[in-house]
Amino acid sequence: MEYAFVLEKLILVTVIFLITLGIAAYSTLAERKIAGFIQGRVGPHRAGPWGMFQPLADGGKMFFKEEIIPAESNRFLFIAGPSLALLTASIGSAVIPWGRALTIGGRTIELQVTDINVGLLYIFGVVSLGVYGIMIGGWASNNKYSLMGAIRAASQNISYEIAMGLSIIALLMVTGTLSLKGIAAQQDGFWADGWFTWNVFKQPLSFLIFIVCAFAECNRTPFDLPESENELVAGYHTEYSGFKLGAFLFAEYINMFVSSAVMSTLYFGGYNFPFMHDLGLSENVVAILGVLALFAKIFFFIFFFMWIRWTIPRFRYDQLMNLGWKTLIPLAIANIVITGIWMTVKDLI
Amino acid sequence: MNLFYLIAFLSVFFSLLVIFSKNPVYSVLYLIITFFTFTIHYVLLNAQFLAIVNFIVYMGAIMVLFLFVLMLLNLNKDSEPLKSNIVKIAGVVAGMCLLVTLAGSVKALNVSDPLVLKNPDIGLVQNLGKVLFKDFLLPFEVSSILLLAAMVGAVLLAKKDPKKV
């Protein structure tokens, strides 16, 4: 283990973590700005130009608010809940390839923290852990609304994980690898062999199921049943205040960022962009432009999350379960069968 | 090797906590940590696929359901059903039988021969998939039928009126 390698990875992890936190903080501002835009309002605009300092003001407010731990609650688990939510949200970004390898002074630097060969399953595992923070926090609050929110979160995540896993299987049949680096590298450029290289054009149904499930796993509207305010006060975080509430809200935005990155990598070509090899640029410039392209895609998906939130009303609970079990899972299985038949007929195996 | 002993100690420690904690929700949380240490064991054995599947299925899915049920029941000391002495004695005898069986089978193992795999990469997805679908195709398919039967059975049990199936 050479020191340069450790240093390189350490810098990469730090940078990614800071970017994640920065994007999560400014997502709160973007959410309010987009809500304002869609509803014909201005949105926050007092703190700094265009409200640029609003996230800092909100963060400061969260820090200095009084922390209240309910007397009848379970003290340790009450604190563990939001911590776990923040932790599981942040570790997902470890396997995402942020760009092509950079070459500086004869040394190749991979813009990916680690390329484990089960990267896709790792993401899936982290997503499935995400519900523990909500469940533990909701249960430890010792409040019936919190408990209802926690139980809703658990059943919703379990239901949509199945459809998500099945939609990924169809994608895997096309890519033939579980490594996210491999999947991103396969979608090189934009057009090859008479068809688009990006997986969304090869597996559109799989992408549709995946994005619906991603909304459900992030507890975003129209699937924000765990915290539906007109039934459950504030759902699983009813009893939370101050920075612990901030941690829960922050975790939601980090989840949004990571799932946007995963969707961009799996289906929208990751760091690849059209004509990347035809511009006559050096490899390093292409790599940096690729990182920018990936972030442009991520920002689009974050915008899409917010766009949906202020457009589509919340589902009823039975509608949520019907959509998951009776629509998405059969569709995903049909997609697998169709993909299998198509690959056999075209002799692609 | 030191890492192995540390993780093995943690596995045993947390699995003991599963048994000894009074609150069932704590037991499940300790069980989750125990499964996490198992995941680390699999990683140490270079069985990445098994590790991640253990992570997803046991930690991510089955334990969520356990926690879900226990939270719904919200068991505490007052609502815990009293167990008679006969049940306790039967439990002790059954546990002892299991212990004797396990000890016997461990003793029968040939421990003097350290396990050296012919192919240390057998745990990687590609190799494991090839072995499963070439050498062990029949057992693999039979076990999938078993799982399917269990699933159909669960759906049948959950149906309110079995006559209207």
Give A-chain residues touching B55 at CB under 8 angstroms.
125
Per residue in B100-155, pLDDT tens?
999 988 887 765 555 566 666 766 777 888 888 888 889 989 999 999 999 899 88
Q: Do B125 and A151 touch (CB under 8 A)?
A: no
State the pLDDT at residue B156.
86
Residue of chain B with shortest Cα separation from A120: B52
Collapsing DSSP to helix, strand or coil, B152 comes out as helix
Domain contains A198:
yes
Q: What percent of chain A has pLDDT over 70?
A: 99
Relative orientation angle of helices A242-267 and A204-217, to the nearest 10 degrees:
170
State the pLDDT at residue A286.
81
Question: Phi and psi dihedrals of A196, rounded to 5?
Answer: -65, 145
Q: Which residue has the tokens 């195709």?
A: B137
Query: Is a pLDDT exceeding 90 seen at residue B93?
Result: yes
Query: Is a pLDDT exceeding 60 seen at residue B78?
Result: no
B29 in contact with A, Cβ within 8 Å:
yes
Using alpha carbons, select from A14, A17, A20 the residue that is nearest to residue A259.
A20
Query: Is a pLDDT exceeding 90 seen at residue A242?
Result: no
Q: Do A132 and B64 touch (CB under 8 A)?
A: yes
Q: Do B56 and A125 touch (CB under 8 A)?
A: yes
Please tell me the distance from the alpha carbon of residue A116 to that of residue A114, in angstroms, as a whole number.
6
A116 in contact with B, Cβ within 8 Å:
yes
Sequence spans of domains, chain B? 2-75+84-124
Q: Do A154 and B67 touch (CB under 8 A)?
A: yes
Note the helical H segments in B45-158.
48-54, 63-73, 85-108, 125-134, 137-158
Question: Among partner residues B52, B71, B124, which is closest to A121 by beta-carbon distance?
Answer: B52
Domain contains A73:
yes
| Structural domains counted in chain A | 1
pLDDT confidence band for A247 (50 / 70 / 90): confident
Give the gap in angstroms from C-alpha A149 to the nearest C-alpha of chain B.
12
Interface with B, mutate which of A129, A155, A217, A329 (most B CBs under 10 A) = A129
Residues constituting chain B: 165
Q: Do A118 and B125 touch (CB under 8 A)?
A: yes
β-pair type (A107-111, A99-104): antiparallel
Kindly report the CATH class assigned to B2-75+84-124. Answer: mainly alpha
State the pLDDT at residue A130.
81
Query: Is a pLDDT exceeding 70 seen at residue B71?
Result: yes
B21 in contact with A, Cβ within 8 Å:
no
pLDDT confidence band for B163 (50 / 70 / 90): low
Mean pLDDT of A311-326: 84
Please tell me the distance from the alpha carbon of residue B40 to that of residue B34, in angstroms, as a whole number.
10
Give A-chain residues touching B27 at CB under 8 angstroms.
none
Report B:38-97 residues touching A (Cβ under 8 A): 48-49, 51-53, 55-56, 59-61, 64-65, 67-68, 71-72, 74
DSSP code for B47: -
Give the helix/strand (H/E) hosting B32. Answer: helix B24-44
Give the gap in angstroms from C-alpha B84 to the nearest C-alpha of chain A.
31
Domain contains A49:
no
ipTM reported for the complex, 2 dp: 0.78
Q: Do A132 and B49 touch (CB under 8 A)?
A: no
Q: Do B124 and A125 touch (CB under 8 A)?
A: no
Query: Is a pLDDT exceeding 60 seen at residue B165?
Result: no
Please tell me the distance from the alpha carbon of residue B14 to that of residue B7, in angstroms, as a whole number.
10
Domain contains A52:
no
Give the gap in angstroms from C-alpha B113 to the nearest C-alpha of chain A.
31
State the pLDDT at residue A61.
86
Q: Do A118 and B49 touch (CB under 8 A)?
A: yes
Q: Do B60 and A117 touch (CB under 8 A)?
A: no
State the pLDDT at residue A12.
85
Please tell me the distance from the alpha carbon of residue A341 to that of residue A46, in angstroms, as a whole number.
58
Residue of chain B with shortest Cα separation from A129: B60
Mean pLDDT of A274-281: 75
DSSP code for B83: P
Domain contains A3:
no
Query: Is a pLDDT exceeding 90 seen at residue B98?
Result: yes
Quickly count: other Cβ atoms within 10 Å of residue B144's Cβ: 10
Task: Give me the domain span that covers residue A334.
Answer: 59-100+111-348
Please tell me the distance from the alpha carbon of residue A55 to that of residue A4, in angstroms, as a whole number.
36
Mean pLDDT of A92-104: 82
State the pLDDT at residue B148.
93
Give the gap in angstroms from C-alpha B129 to the nearest C-alpha of chain A.
12
Per residue in A12-66, pLDDT tens?
888 888 988 888 888 888 888 888 888 888 888 888 788 888 888 888 888 888 8
State the pLDDT at residue B161.
67
Tell me if A181 sits within 8 A of A290, measured CB to CB: no
Give B-chain residues touching A154 at CB under 8 angstroms.
64-65, 67-68, 71
CB pairs under 8 A between A and B: 63
pLDDT confidence band for B63 (50 / 70 / 90): confident
pTM of the model: 0.83
Per residue in A134-172, pLDDT tens?
888 888 887 788 888 888 888 888 888 888 888 888 888
